[in-house]
Structure 1
Amino acid sequence: MTPPANPVAAAEPPAWNMPGSLVLRLMAVAALVVVLASAASVWLVSRAAGQEAMRRVVGQQTDEVEVVARLLASKIEQSQKVLRTVAQGITPGMLDAPASLDWMLRQGLPAAGFFDALQVVRKDGELKLNIRAGQLAKASDLDPAERDALRRTLIDGKPVVSELIAGRTSDARIMFTLPLHSEEGTVLGVVAGALKLQSQGLLPQSMALPAREDSRLVVFTRDGTILSHTDPARIMGQVRDEPGLAPVFADWLRRAQPVVGRGSTEVLPDHIVSVAGMPLPQWFVARVSNSQALLAPLQGAQREAWWLAAAVIALGVLLLASVMVWMAQPLAQLCRSALQLLRRDARAVVEWPVSRGEVDTLVRVFDGLAQQKQQRDHLHTLVGGQFEAILEHSSVGIVITRHGVLEVVGRQASLMLGYADGELQGRPARALYGSDADYARLGERVQAAFAAHGAFDGDVCFVRKDGSPVWARVQGRTVRSQALGASTVWMLEDITAARAAQYQQAWELTHDALTQLHNRSAFEHRLALLLAERSTRARGPASAGDSDGADAGEDGVVLFLDLDHFTLVNDVAGHDAGDDVLRHVARLIETQVRQVGWSARLGGDEFAVVLPGCTLARGQAVAEQLRATVQAWEPSYQGRSFTLGVSIGLVVLDAHLHDVASVLYAADMACYDAKRAGRNRVETRHARDMTSSGRMALGPY
């Protein structure tokens, strides 16, 4: 007999399922909640209705004042645009011809009729034209505030929107000014236009309509002067006398808040006050409403909500038992289907019961788990692709090993070692060395470096596929990650050519064998060349009798470094450990300064660094970085950790230092100052302070 294709779907659930203990407990809890909800429903409904009504009133008023503020701001911008049109019609020649200027503003430019008054002032402050209500007026008719706005525009060359120029309510006005520029950008004069407060272009009477007994729309200035009001008699009055708005305005003045375009609403015991600002010209629009009158309809809504809530609660109590029993049926079927799915493959098709609540949630959980797995697979693929791109295009060789096996070999490393891409994958690391003895010796070096420094940094000789040697600077560090486990990442840089040069006789004569830095003789020779070049360059632009021309120049700095507590390493861990410390410190110094200068070992635990063309501030920063780097390194030898420091003396290569001996003496004295001041610090000396005392006369260093 053939089994059904989907055993889970084929299993017919019983027609009726007895609710389990969980459902019975839920029914008891739900009944208790309904009883408690009936006692709290009146309070909740009343509170919710009141909050909703208040939210809507606040939202409507806030939106209204923002819209009015934007409308008034657009009127201001439109007035400025009209004035700009008038200014474009005024040519430089008209400023000396009042008759043609008058004709142009009266007849030639229709836009000039937009303003209630127009003035044109020349750059020397002479009023060339003053038109008020279409008639010529005298210069003496100008208000002091109007004169001030014209003067500020002439001086600053910027447009101005004046404060309210007060007088009688019918004469209150706002002035707009605009500079007149020549083709070269200089200010030739100023054109100004004024609009009356109650004009159609600014604040017409119709703006405050329709009037409402329970609400007032007020426009006022920063100092509290009312510009527009639902009651015309209140225009030019003070906000401090407005019920409801006065305390809000007083609080705003106390906090000194900036004028912003966004609206805000405050609910007071008897009023709802919404205010929005206009940054230009710093006006405010406010809607003040009587909260008691606005919320009076809420009482009827609350009574209706009471009866509706009571009906819903009663119906809920009647239907609670039947609904809970009905909801338990798909839940029981869901549990059975989930148990059966757990015993099958995750890709099996299951006919889940169609229901809401727990059933739908669990189905979405299963889908979510499947999607999460797909996302993890996609992320793994994406990260793998990025890793492959790094291996493919990196300028240095990248190798990852684990337990002596080459797990990952980058393209650059394969080319360096003479292998094709992927050819070294999975092979033992021993394949890269000429003999087992070489591989064993390198293993001892790596283990010692990791024990002392936590990382490996050194030169290693590998063997290419064709048997030829290749030298590389190798940096290695152990990483522990979920993807790679306990692996070691190696960075390889081909130094075969540089290594060959190291063994030439010239290199041996100029470099220290232990640290591979410049030795003392090479350092002195190179510094002497730098000083000679500086001296030649300083004499070039200066006259023969000018001895001070180079004194102010700075052609770099010299650092003198002396390790602190180095003898302790030699005495406790032995000279081999001391040599290792010197080698590592040399690498630290070279890494820090090779991009901006060069370094040398002068002898023992003394080093020197030259930073050509470096300022004093930059030199001090490099010296401090060197000091911090050495202090942060804690070597470990024979099971004991050591803390080192370095005292650094700094001297600027100025005109007072003429030869190598004087430079080294000055730097050594600065280092001596650092030692005497407590060690592990940077001290700076200026050569002019030493030469004044005659200390440079001691002869060669």
Structure 2
Amino acid sequence: MSDLPPPFARLRAALGSLKLRVALGVVLALVVGIGATTLLLVRQAERDTLALVRERELGEAVRAAQGLSRRVVALQRALALASSQFDPAVLGDEAALGRLLLGQPLLGELFNMVFVADTGGQVRMAIGARGLMQPPLRLSDRDYFTRALRERRAVISGAVPSRLDGAPTLLFAQPLLHGGAVYGMLVGGINLAQRELLVPTVDTDVAGDVLRVVTDADGLILAHPNRSLVMASLATEPRLAGALERWRAVGSPVEPAGLMLAERGEVVAVGGVAGPDWLVWRAVDEAGLLEPLHAARRQALGWAAVLVAACGLATLAGLWWVLRPLRRLTDRAEHLFDPHNDPAQGWPEAGGEIGSLAAVLRRVGTERARLEQANASLLGKLGSVMGNAPVGIAFTRAQRFELVSAEFCRLLGRREEELLGQRSVMIYDSAADYAALGPKVRAAFAAGEPYVGDVPMRRGDGTRFWAHLRGRPVDPGDDEAGTIWTVTDVSEQVATRARLEWSAHHDALTGLANRQRLEQRLQRVLDGLPGTLPAALVMVDLDRFKPINDGAGHAAGDAMLCAVADVLRARIRTRDLAVRLGGDEFALVLEHCPPEAAVQLAEDVRAALAGIALPWDGRQLQLSASLGVASLHPQIAGVAHWLRVADEACYEAKAAGRNCVRAAPLPRAPLLVLRA
């Protein structure tokens, strides 16, 4: 941290000040409290406002739909009333028909175009803004016309393009009846692109950006502020496209009681128009509705920031005044452990928590001085013990040396300063030995016992020795308290044990394994079945060894036995075992060796033994050997049985003239794995 540039170092020191931290805490609390309160209040106001707007818009949509429904009924009644003045005779008289249409000024005000057609769909006469006309129009292919004829009732078309000028038009068809039969059709047309017939029915003075649209039950626009969208799908209106999808998802209801539809950023209400099954859509922009609240929130947060800044400065000034004694206390505490200062002098006089802290630190300084004196005396005594102890003593904590005795340093061939602070792994023969020791030590300590064991260690000069290690935790309940270790050199004892163990399983003359080791190995092979298959036992009996022993002496016989042992060791694998059974008898244990390979190896051994020429007193001593091979098979019932089978094969080799190899016959049955 000392490497930081001066500006950053000063900033870090300032941030470490208790006064600044408390002031920042107060400021943060004010920011969180005022900010959270402001935000919560504004959020609640937004929710309340939106709820009121939704309720109002739903009511407006329903009222607009009801008004539009009444308007449609009025238009239909006007046509029905006018239709009562027609009769079949008038329909065939063009002059009378023209006079009758000119005598209907109310229809001229309500509709852009009024025309009369016969039952075949041929328009007989029409009246519009340009007066009477006889357009060559036929309505028989219009759905609304055929429905009105078939059902003999008034029918309203959807928005269709006019056949006169192509403008989007809404048509009201009223059948002309005489004696219960339809003899003609009175039709009123409203040009949706020119006349604001439907829009005033849904127009209401509402603050904010309000969109009012009328559609039919299929979502086709009948009225829109942008008249170019008339007859287009409501999906083309970005503000209502999502609401249209949700309306269709709930089954496209035409609900006179109205319903609310979710739309991101909009409050959307829909009212169903009874009769023609139209829909009045109202959409209000949420952002416009909530802008006054957002402005109020910004203003409130601005005033809150000013208030927080003022409170923070006031808090900082107050803390600076109150905590002045704390600075003096800090200066004195920095010299608490200075041996040249009196631990009871120099502390500031103050009340409250600072005074209590000063008193505590004064007592700490006084008590520490007393403990240092006691520790110095104790360390002197401990140093005397460590320097004269006849065994190596070490104290470790966190796997590092903290205290070592003179005898410990002598055993390790290292100076005290080379060990202190270093990891304890450095004194062990290998890292693997050290790693293997850890679980054993932990297990002993967990059982409430000290760890005792012999481990290989390495001195500073690289020489290796065996150490008797004993360890006990300082505090069994605290792993951080450390461990006391004692070390003695037991290399002589370990070497003696190793020699005794080796002698118990090896022939002293040849160094080969003895009979006890052979029987142990054979039992291990049998116990490991079937994983140890195939395996073979080879018995080796030297030919004409007695003449060498008798004629050249026992020394020559011993030399010949050692030469035989060398041949056996040279011919087998490291996993195999060469054995001297006693006298001139030897054996080989071949693991994972098929019968054919065992016989071939026995033949190689026989040839090598026959090739021995041992110089002795000016002559060369030679011998041969008879070998019997017994491969493991299901009828082998145990170690003794296996040895007997191999001996019998060896006897057959002797009987066959010596210096040859014979293998015990294998059973014909499939091989079954049997355990001894």
Normalised by the length of structure 2, the TM-score is 0.35
Look at both structures and tell me which one has the larger radius of gyration over its CA atoms. Answer: 2
Normalised by the length of structure 1, the TM-score is 0.34
